[in-house]
Amino acid sequence: MKILLIEDDAETAYYISQGLTGDGHHVDMEANGAVGLRRAVTDAWDLLIIDRMLPQLDGVSIVHTLRQRALTMPVLLLTTLGGVDDRVDGLNAGADDYLVKPFSFAELLARVAALGRRPPRLAVETTLAIADLEINLLDRSVTRGGAAVDLPPREFRLLVYLMNNRDQIVTRSMLLGNVWDVHFDPNTTVVETHISRLRSKIDRGHSPALIHTVRGSGYTLRAPP
Amino acid sequence: MYATLTCVSFGILFVVVFLSTTRFMRHQIDDSVSSEIEEILAASGDRLFQGICGAVDGLSKHPSGFLYLLENTQGVAKAGNLPAIDPQQGIREWGTTGHGAPAEYAGLRGRGLVLPAGFLFVGWRTHQLLEMQEMIIGSFAWGLAASIGLAVAGGFIMSGRLMRRIETVSTTSRTIVGDDLEQRLPVTRADDEIDHLAVSINAMLDRIADLMRDLRQVTTDIAHDLRTPLTRLRQRLELAKRAEAPASAAAATFESAVVEIDSILGIFSALLRIAQIESRSRSAGFKVIELTALLDTVAELYRPMAEEKGHLLIETLPSSLRVLGESELLMQLFANLIENALRHSPRGSTVEIEARQIHERVNVSITDNGRGIPADQRMKVLQRFYRLEVSRTTAGNGLGLSLANAIAKLHDATLELSDAAPGLCVTIELPGIA
């Protein structure tokens, strides 16, 4: 992916660009907000990563200006704050995701991957499938190897989210935010217990296992090639 | 200022007393002189010169304070104890010098009466009047001097005392600023403005001292709570640095180091979040929240965890409860409370979430039947980093309840801890929507 990183703290910028380059992305860096906005509109980018606090022009204003000009490239906002209002402000301005510093590398990579591959969802897509797991979005039914799997609403949502991000790592905080709309960090075993429940219904007695735990990062729904 | 006013009022008083006394005394003299004349005339019976002469002679022999003069038409003194003067009808007074009259007339006041056969004068020494005037002047002078003296001295004493007390306040304040925050301003029994000031300043100092103690406590707690994981971290890294350590061990160390650092960062972000919430005013961004749905979501989030630990999570919620607030914060508030209840209860406990509307308030209680919190420590657990000894070893950073309390305060809600016998009951009372 071709990524523009607008971040004024040199060390953070270096850390982020190293990590993303190592993951196979191409990263351009810019420290000034106004210059960053100019570069954002004059070139084609797959993703913008913008710090909230920047010299000359702050991150939220950049996002706002981009969206006003009908530029739809995905934007990930970074912040050191992390208050409720900050996140809401950022998302209202048109950012696609929001990450509070300090964040782990796994978190950043997972979110970048999710944003980069966010496909234009087709309205006609009514079934999702991986290996012998099938999800019907219309009647909200799930089958594994032809056998019906009974899932309560939240577990169904969890499975759909994993399915939409299949082959990618989704972190705990991504799951909490997208499945439960929880934007703080509760006891981490909360997500674990939900996943293990889902796993027991989807994977138990079936092969291959589809739900995998990625140590230190999160989870992924993946079928062996 | 006071001295001047005292002088002026004293002066006015003096003039009034002086004039009225003098006038009164003169009247007295005039009256007695007139009545003496009346008596002489009455005693003389037919008012013949000889008769008057006899009467005056008789009176003159017995000193009574009156002085008499009777002269004939030729201006020759015929009786009495005064030399002859020019006959003049009416009241006359001579000053101390006599004004050309014979020396006897000095300091005399009296009445002259021109008779057909001569002139009768009865006088009275005015030295009494003069003495009286002198006495009045004298006593007023002394009085004035004394009262000016008193006024000045009193003023000095009063303002001196005032100054000393104000000085005490400022020196004490300087000591307090210097180092001794425990010192307090003296309060006298006078109960005056300065005492009121001292009491207010003392109350302010108490508050500041409390805050300072809190701050010191929190600082110590932060230092303590951070030192433990940082020490562990250091030991692990040092161990990994040693050459003989295998590469695989180093990788594991790094991983655990990251976990350790994450927990430290977690403490910091919780602290920041509490500070952030505490510094906010009741937000204009509050929205109407379906509390039942919100509690449902939180309960559902924790249910698998509860069941895994063998706990029973019971919800007793009405179909709809609405409050004004910020859903994200309220979610965190209830999540913290439920998590606390689950974490600190022994396996197989029951945690009940109950909500109901009581008049204008919405009451949410989270009750467990675990160990509970001793009564004397219930307020303390709301403080940052405060942890019961028994829970020192369980996970958590001692900030959950502080955060919950901060969120409750922001929502104008109260957070109360009570005994569920056995266990703990946490009650949140929120303002409902009318």
Asked if B79 and B53 touch (Cβ cutoff 8 Å), the reply is yes
Lowest mean pLDDT among A146-150, A188-192, B382-386: B382-386
Q: Which residue has the higher pLDDT, B301 or B102?
A: B301
Of B269, B273, B301, the CB nearest to A182: B301
Q: Which of B36, B32, B40 is nearest to B126 (CA)?
A: B32
Binned at pLDDT 50, 70 and 90, residue B429 comes out as very high
What percentage of residues in chain B have a pLDDT greater than 90?
A: 9
Report pLDDT for A63. Answer: 93
Looking up tokens 């169904």 gives: A156
Contact A183 B302 (CB under 8 A): no
Q: What is the mean pLDDT of residues B22-33?
A: 86
What is the pLDDT averaged over residues B112-125?
84
The predicted-structure confidence for A103-150, as pLDDT tens digits, reads as follows 888 889 999 988 887 665 555 678 888 888 999 988 889 999 888 999
Residue A156: is its pLDDT beyond 90? yes
Say whether domain B282-431 belongs to CATH 3.30.565.10. yes
Predicted confidence at residue B388, as pLDDT, reads 60
A216 and B255 in contact by Cβ < 8 A? yes
**Hey, is the C-beta of B309 within 8 angstroms of any chain A C-beta?**
no
Q: Which residues contact B318 (CB under 8 A, 6 or more apart)?
A: B292, B355, B356, B357
Residue A34, pLDDT score: 92
Q: Are B335 and A186 in contact (CB under 8 A)?
A: yes
Kindly identify which residue of chain A lies nearest to residue B265, measuring between CA atoms.
A102
Class of domain B193-278: mainly alpha
Å between B212 CA and nearest CA of chain A: 26
Q: Which residue of A has its CA nearest to B304?
A: A193
pLDDT of residue B90 exceeding 70, the answer is yes
Domain map (residue ranges) of chain B: 2-130, 193-278, 282-431
Contact between chains at B304 and A194 (C-beta distance less than 8 A): yes
Render pLDDT for B46-71 as a digit per residue (tens, 0 to 9).
Answer: 667 778 887 788 887 777 778 888 88
- For the cut 70, the answer to whether the pLDDT of residue B434 exceeds it is no
pLDDT digits (tens, 9 = 90+) for B196-221: 888 898 898 888 888 888 888 778 87
Q: What is the pLDDT of residue A86?
A: 75
The token pair that represents B308 in the structure block: 């895994």
pTM of the predicted protein model: 0.65
Tell me the shortest Cα–Cα distance from B327 to chain A, in angstroms: 10
Mean pLDDT of A55-83: 87
Q: What is the pLDDT of residue B375?
A: 78
Q: Is B329 exposed, middle or buried (0-12, 13-18, 19+ CB in 10 A)?
A: buried
What ipTM goes with this model? 0.81
pLDDT digits (tens, 9 = 90+) for B387-422: 665 554 555 667 888 888 888 988 989 998 888 888
Token duo for residue A141: 């039914």
B170-196 pLDDT, tens digit per residue, is 888 888 888 777 888 888 887 888 888
The dihedral of CA A134, A140, A146, A151: what is its sign? positive
